[in-house]
Amino acid sequence: MAMSMGGGGGSMADINVTPMIDILLVLLIIFMVIVPVTPKGLDALVPQPPKTQHPENEKQDRTIVVQILHRGMNAPPMYKINETDVSKGELLPRLTDIYANRAERVMFVKGDDKIDFRYVAEVIDIGRSAGVDHIGLMTPKILAGQ
């Protein structure tokens, strides 16, 4: 009599990788859709040179600069809107009137070196309350080699 040796109906130990690859591809597609393609950074306005030459007075009327000037040690600072003296209480109504009919709501704040930043922050808050969209801070020009 002959006897057969060997395994007949045993199970295989191989892993079926096809379902795992399918799951991996689905997850990859989901993460690619969720993650934005372009990262969002801070919005910055860079001054652009004018395309055409404007008269100086028209350019001066468009640019609003609020200056904060140092008066003395314990004295409150002076405020100016485009070289016009203004008190702190008049800043909000004057800025509201200026920006009431403007499409471009940009304001610059220029403070003296000896002014505390809290005065600059107050002017920024007043500008936001007046409806200004973009507020820029002006700094002194730094020459090379200093």
pLDDT digit string, tens, across residues 59-68: 446 788 999 9
What integer pLDDT is reported at residue 80 of this predicted model? 92
CA 117 from chain centre, in angstroms, equals 20
Which DSSP helix (H) or strand (E) runs through 33? helix 18-34
Angle at 35 between CA 32 and CA 39, to 5 degrees: 130
The reported pTM is 0.56
Q: Which domains, and CATH codes, for the chain?
A: 58-138 (3.30.420.270)
For 2, the 3-state DSSP assignment is coil
